[in-house]
Amino acid sequence: MHTTQKHSTKQTLRGQSFETSEHEERSERSMTAIVQDRYGSADVLEVREIPRPDIGDHDVLVRVAAAGVDRGVWHLVTGRPAVTRLAFGLRRPRNPVPGLDVAGLVDTVGAGVTRFTEGDVVFGTGHGTFAQYTRADEDRLAGIPTNVTMTEAGVLAVTGSTALQAVEDHGRVRPGDRVLVLGASGGVGTYAVQIAYAVGGIVTGVASSDKLDLVRRLGASGVIDYRADDPLAEPGRYDVIIDTGGNRRLRDLRRALTPTGTLVIVGGENGGRWLGGTDRQIRAKLTSLVTRQRLTTFVASEDAIHLERLADLVETGHVTPVVDCSYPLAQTADAIAHLESGLTRGKVAITTDRTESR
Ligand SMILES: NC(=O)c1ccc[n+]([C@@H]2O[C@H](COP(=O)([O-])OP(=O)(O)OC[C@H]3O[C@@H](n4cnc5c(N)ncnc54)[C@H](OP(=O)(O)O)[C@@H]3O)[C@@H](O)[C@H]2O)c1
């Protein structure tokens, strides 16, 4: 369990400071935010002044220092695959401010909030974090580990929780298990490699050639360039496969598993315009009913229990967020385009003008 850190007007967290400007203190009710009125490519995003969010009894208003960009953000901005609109809004996004990952400072707490007070530094998820302030449920936040920067904390919650659940809850990786991570250089994969290694797995990571060194440094004892070799070529090789990229056929994934092995499908891009690969996930669950292999999938939850477990793994040095680069809030569209370029190693961060290097 983590104790939260208190900060006053100027806070510092491992090499970064977080300061309140006079102008900010004057403009009490407004904030700069990234807003989208419709689905589309990154150019639908506009920088606007809008009212700060109201909070309910169990909410926290967080002053955003950093926010992570992940594939979910891309799905929200574009409204693709179409199935995602069931969650985000059919014709346009219900919440016009994108962004889920956040790290920052507790500005105000609702009357029923018990876990945090003003001045705590927290990470987790908020309702629209590409803004100077965001509303967060108190149960979707945790105290920031002392050994990371605000920027690192800002890219921790969404893909870190996903990896944690894939490896521990669904993959049930045990010491000595041979674990294959498909998409090992990505947002989920960089955490999955570290967590699988931390729990004693013997990890093989799959990525493109120029990212294999990174994957090795994260704890993989074996690496495979998916453009040069087929990572699923050897039958019965793996006890657990964590699948975050490539959308490989179920039958190929199963062949690479032991007869009682576990496949955890996290996701994968380019899985189709309408369903985005969710059909493969449903087929995996159905097939699992009639085989000794466990074939599963899940929708990740960024709840406090997982966030605190993640924070412990970071605090004890088992997990370090991999930040590829960070962009100022006003350049969020460029940050999303960078993620889309396929060049990213680990995570892309958005920082507000309050997150600065000393
Ligand atoms: N189930 C859930 O709740 C949940 C939660 C979060 C994310 N997701 C989904 O999980 C997926 C991964 O997310 P992410 O944030 O990690 O994405 P990401 O950062 O874009 O990473 C994608 C990874 O896939 C690799 N890759 C691309 N093509 C591949 C191929 N043909 N074979 C093997 N690997 C390949 C990439 O390697 P290179 O860059 O080296 O080419 C990269 O490592 C996304 O589809 C996302 O929507 C699901």
CATH classification of the domain holding 36: 3.90.180.10
Determine contact, residues 144/123, Cβ cutoff 8 Å: yes
Identify whether the C-beta of residue 352 lies closer than 8 Å to the C-beta of residue 20.
Answer: no
According to the model, what pLDDT value does residue 309 have?
A: 98
Instruction: Check whether residue 272 and residue 328 sit in a common domain.
Output: no
Q: Same domain for 109 and 217?
A: no
State CA 71 to chain mean position distance.
8
Task: State the Cα–Cα distance between residues 185 and 183, nearest whole angstrom.
Answer: 6
How many domains is the chain built from?
A: 2
In the reported structure, the alpha carbon of residue 61 is separated from the centroid of ligand 1 by a whole-number distance in angstroms of 31
| pLDDT score for 114 | 97
Same domain, 180 and 143: no
Angle (CA) 166 189 323, round 5°: 130
* β-strands 133-137, 121-125 pairing: unpaired
Q: Are residues 168 and 282 in the same domain?
A: yes
Is the same domain home to 108 and 175? Answer: no
- Based on the fold, state whether residues 132 and 48 are members of the same structural domain: yes
- 315, part of any domain: no
Percent of the chain with pLDDT over 90: 77
> Which atom number of ligand 1 is nearest to the Cα of residue 210?
40
From the CA of 71, how far away is ligand 1's center (Å)? Answer: 8
Residue 3 is assigned to a structural domain of this protein: no
Residue 312 counted as domain residue: no
| Tokens read off for 310 | 């993640």
138 and 166 within one domain: no
- Quote the domain boundaries for residue 65: 10-156+322-351
Query: CA–CA separation, 168 vs 194, rounded Å?
Result: 12
Question: Model confidence over 87-103: pLDDT tens digits?
Answer: 778 888 889 999 999 99
Lining ligand 1 with CB less than 6 A are 70-72, 159, 162, 182-189, 206-208, 211, 226, 244-246, 266-269, 298-300, 342, 344
DSSP code string of 319-345 = ----EEEEEEGGGHHHHHHHHHTT--S
Whole-number Å distance, alpha carbon 187 to ligand 1 midpoint, is 7
The CATH number of the domain holding residue 247 is 3.40.50.720
How do residues 19-72 score in pLDDT, each as one tens digit?
555 455 546 799 999 999 999 888 899 999 999 999 999 999 999 999 999 988
